[in-house]
Amino acid sequence: MEPNQREELRYAMETQFRYKFYKSPEFPFLPSLGIRHIFQGFEAKEEELGFIGMLHLWWTKEDNGIKYDNPRYFVKGTWHGEWFDSPEDGIKRAIQVQKEITFWDVNKLLQVHLEFHNELRKREAEKKFIEETEEMTDLMSKRPPILN
């Protein structure tokens, strides 16, 4: 793919992605939820075009000059973008961004998530065991008594 063609495709993809991103209902709330980095890969279906790139959008708290009708619902800031030529470069940057985030411990978050799902599975297994035991008890009580 020619560099000029790749740049045109990237511009079109970024414009379309940003449009959909800005129109989503959760968009104005992402920075306040702590989501300040978005990574999105783009690949063309045609083999001659191949991998177009990985887009990284990041939010910075700076005045972008946009006046809102009701500024109470909007956090002022700007979303910047950069492209990576290979998925590996984008993944390296995503890992670097994840390491820079210091207000939560990813390993602890994963551990809590794992413990929650283990507890959920345990409760489901106990519930299933109780149901099966009750079924067996019902079957045994409906059986005629054994006479010697």
- pLDDT at residue 39, rounded to an integer: 93
The range of the structural domain enclosing residue 144 comes to 104-148
Q: How many domains does the chain have?
A: 2
Contact in structure between 21 and 40 (CB atoms under 8 Å)? no
Longest distance between any two alpha carbons in the chain, whole Å: 94
Which residues, at least 6 apart from 39, have a Cβ–Cβ distance to it below 8 Å? Answer: 54, 55, 56, 90, 93, 94
Domain match, 52 and 8 both:
yes
Q: For residues 69-85, give the mean pLDDT.
A: 75
What mean pLDDT value characterizes the chain? 84
Q: Percentage of residues in the chain with pLDDT exceeding 70?
A: 86
Q: Is the dihedral of CA 79, 106, 102, 54 positive or negative?
A: negative
Domain match, 39 and 60 both:
yes
Mean pLDDT lowest for which of 15-24, 39-48, 101-110? Answer: 101-110
Q: CA-to-CA distance for 141 and 35, rounded, in angstroms?
A: 58
Mean pLDDT lowest for which of 22-36, 80-94, 109-123? Answer: 22-36
Domain match, 83 and 111 both:
no
- The tokens describing 34, both together, are 């702590």
Q: CA-to-CA distance for 70 and 55, rounded, in angstroms?
A: 30
Contact in structure between 37 and 58 (CB atoms under 8 Å)? yes
Domain match, 96 and 148 both:
no
Helix (H, G, I), strand (E, B) or coil at 93: helix
pTM above 0.95, yes or no: no
Domain match, 98 and 108 both:
no
